[in-house]
Amino acid sequence: MNRDVTTTDSPPRMAKELGVLGVFSITLGTTLSGGIFLLPGLAAEEVGAGIVLSYLLVAVPLIPSMFSVVELATAMPRAGGPYYFLDRSLGPLVGTIGGLGTWLALMLKTAFALVGIGYYLQLFFPDVSVVAVALLLALLVGGINLLGARKTTALQIGLSFGLLGILLWFLGTGLPEVDAARFMAIAEGGFDRILATAGMVYVSYIGVIKIAAVAEEVENPMRNLPRGVFSAIGVSMVIYLGVTVTLVGVLPLDELRGNEVAIARAAEVVSGLVGRLLMTVAALMAFAATANAGILSAGRYPYAMSRDRILPEFFGWSRSDGTPLAGVLVTTALVMLFLVSFDPSKIAKLASAFQLLLFSLLNLAVLVMRESRIESYDPGFRSPLYPWMQLVGLLTPLWLIGEMGWLPILFTLLLVGTSLVWYREYVASRIERDGAVFHVFERLGHRRYAPLETELRAILREKGLKDTDPFESVVARAGFLDISHVASFEDVVWLASEVMSRHVGQSPEWLREAFLEGTRLGATPVQSGIALPHVRVPELEEPYLVMVRVRDGVPVQAPPTAWSLAGEPQMVHALFFLASRDDDPGLHLRLLAELAEQLDQPDFLIRWQNAESEQQLKALVLRKDRQLRVALTPDSPANELIGRRVREIELPANVDVALIRRENQTIEPHPDTLLQEGDELLLIGDPAAIRKLAERWVAPAEAE
């Protein structure tokens, strides 16, 4: 095995290479494909002009499910997306069903896209074999995905925006040509058939699942996932409506029904050969984007399930950057098998049926996670109208499956049954894990699964802060104690509680007991000479922090889950006492996680002990890209600030003067504070604004 390949023994953290543009492109590119370029003709064969209503009705189960998927993905951004959500919320049995089923649904959608490429190539090369082309392209796309998410996403962005441009051209030229009289027969197929067709075209929106599957590779998922997904789905819904209206309004129904390349024919009616050529190019781009993103996301499912021992270790074979080699290879092989086994209509119905079941379960997962009251469940986006939104999303997909006919129902039941057998025969004896549903049981007097909280806290630390979290301001205005010698940890707690009581509206006695009780219960993290006692205070307006340096050290009892021997006292030199609002546990945990992240730096304790001022100590804790130290000397670029008051400094709205170091004192700035020669300012704020101020006020030698 190559040196850059690893297995599940030490699964690497997947590289975060997807920004908001990547999220948008993957979601859009996988949504605007078969639903536009292949399905409308197949759907019209079932329901005629009613396809417009079928595509509109899809929004009923889609919107709640989209909200639920994004909420879960911003709370638990992990490879395998929906599988991971179901496993951690409803337990490994449901996780096995969801994981295997979603993997299969994604592969079916990918096969559907590859078949579509063959149909459009036949417009210009009538003798080409649809299946042969699809098989060759499956090999090509699989090979690209072995290169990793960054290279895959670059291709995805180009394909998605090229596709979007051509579709907007089609709508601009086609909508003015629509014949309104063609919509007189919009309901002739009957409401039941319209519903059944809505279930079939639901596969068009599988892009939400695909992006959730690669959530672990999204940079700042709490911000980028909601922005990318909602914008892509919004654009997709508008385009689907416009395209179906144009198709029905331009083509006679006899020409639309069963036409796999209906949109190319409509473009030809409106714009001649140029239109047909452009829509063929758009179709090829759309199907290539879908196939590319399909294998990208589907390959993450066996990887994630292998990490959790639901599939054999072989599926965890990956490169050092986390690219799931085995998952991509097996996924590509299975896609090729489906290409030679099913026709397009059956592929669409089978993929849609299980996607509907999956979305129903994901809405149930949000209900369970919310009702479990696990404090470390901290999504960056929370679905509106809870729980009614989730109840609609739970029930309507099941109704649509029932309207789709016996084959999708049988397929869904068979898939669930196969997953149950696999779980019983292979999975059950290999894992000891339960989901958040047991925390709901615990509230009802039964049992809970504590390790899930630990896992979610680790995810919380990895996700980092929300953009609105006041971490920098909390550190900047923190109280500070510098102690040479102290008899015991209890004495340090008392001194810190006295300082904190002036800011949080609680007595020193109350705070002392709360900090000590938390430590006795093992809630105080202790690592490498650093301790983080923390409490949540009722009716507290904003978090407050007290930083304590104990130069000679003080012994602190480590919790049983600490990084040293369980329960042994550690000599601690840096203590950070955090108090947060009692009604916002998510903020409290994020601040605590960010503190731990900033303190877990090489040589932190050495630099902490050697720091000469409170300002230097706080600079050690602040995030490096959000702080700037500016020296006011006659020969510095910032000499223009000497003699000004703080309120007279021209600062961006998202930057503040946090501290002023003057001689041997640290001064808390006020608007009327007069700046003097020799002062050193500590500025905090947005990274982009900080960089611009550094270019203006810090000499290049100082910046280095």
Q: Which CATH number do you get for residue 582?
A: 3.40.930.10
Task: Among 618, 645, 663, give the residue marking a domain's end.
Answer: 618
Tell whether 440 is covered by a domain. no
Please give the helix or strand (H or E) that residue 112 lies within, else none. Answer: helix 92-121
Same domain, 608 and 682: no
Same domain, 273 and 333: yes
Same domain, 108 and 232: yes
Task: Among 403, 430, 457, give the residue marking a domain's end.
Answer: 430
Across the chain, mean pLDDT equals 82
Residues in a beta bridge with 630: 681
Same domain, 331 and 373: yes
Tell whether 545 is covered by a domain. yes
Range name among 65-79, 140-154, 263-277 with the lowest pLDDT average: 140-154
pLDDT tens-digit readout, 299-315: 777 887 888 788 888 88
Query: Looking at residues 69-87, what average pLDDT do you find?
Result: 83
Of 420 and 78, which is predicted with more confidence? 420
CATH of the domain at 397: 1.20.1740.10
Q: Does residue 14 have a pLDDT over 60?
A: no
Using a pLDDT cut of 90, give the percent of the chain over it. 18
Residue numbers of the domain that contains 663:
623-703
Place of tokens 């901290």: 378
Buried b (16+ CB within 10 A) or exposed e, 337-368: ebbeebebbbbbbbbbbbbbbbbbbbbbbbbb
Cβ atoms of 668 and 633 closer than 8 Å? no
Same domain, 599 and 654: no
Tell whether 447 is covered by a domain. no
Same domain, 492 and 359: no
Same domain, 238 and 360: yes
The alpha helices in 521-667, defined as continuous H runs, are 585-599, 604-610, 614-621
User: How does residue 543 score in pLDDT terms, banded at 50, 70 and 90?
Assistant: very high
Same domain, 699 and 578: no
Tell whether 495 is covered by a domain. yes
Query: Looking at residues 176-188, what average pLDDT do you find?
Result: 85
Residue 165 is given by DSSP the state H
Query: Looking at residues 240-245, what average pLDDT do you find?
Result: 92
Same domain, 285 and 419: yes
Same domain, 232 and 352: yes
Tell whether 317 is covered by a domain. yes
Euclidean distance between CA atoms 38 and 28, whole angstroms: 16
Q: Phi-psi category of 608—alpha, beta or left, where left has phi over 0 and alpha has psi -120 to 50?
A: alpha
> What pLDDT score was predicted for residue 322?
65
User: How does residue 469 score in pLDDT terms, banded at 50, 70 and 90?
Assistant: confident
Q: Does residue 274 have a pLDDT over 70?
A: yes
Domains of the chain: total:
3
Query: Looking at residues 427-439, what average pLDDT do you find?
Result: 63
In the chain, what are the helix, strand and coil shares in percent, each to the nearest 5?
Answer: 65, 10, 25
User: How does residue 68 score in pLDDT terms, banded at 50, 70 and 90?
Assistant: very high
pLDDT tens-digit readout, 579-597: 998 888 888 888 888 888 8
Q: Is the N-terminal amide bond of 602 cis, ω within 30° of 0?
A: no
Cβ atoms of 258 and 43 closer than 8 Å? no
Give the residue from 233, 212, 205, 203 showing the smallest Cα distance to 353.
203
pTM of the predicted model as reported, rounded to 2 decimal places: 0.73
Euclidean distance between CA atoms 75 and 69, whole angstroms: 10
Of 317 and 503, which is predicted with more confidence? 503
Tokens for 52, please give them. Answer: 């417009």
Cα 38–Cα 254–Cα 187 angle in degrees, nearest 5:
85
Same domain, 307 and 365: yes
Tell whether 448 is covered by a domain. no
Query: Looking at residues 597-609, what average pLDDT do you find?
Result: 87
Tell whether 187 is covered by a domain. yes
Tell whether 444 is covered by a domain. no
Task: Among 384, 414, 430, give the residue marking a domain's end.
Answer: 430
Q: What are phi and psi of 657, to 5 degrees?
A: -85, 115
CATH of the domain at 658: 3.30.70.1450
Same domain, 206 and 346: yes
Cβ atoms of 111 and 342 closer than 8 Å? yes
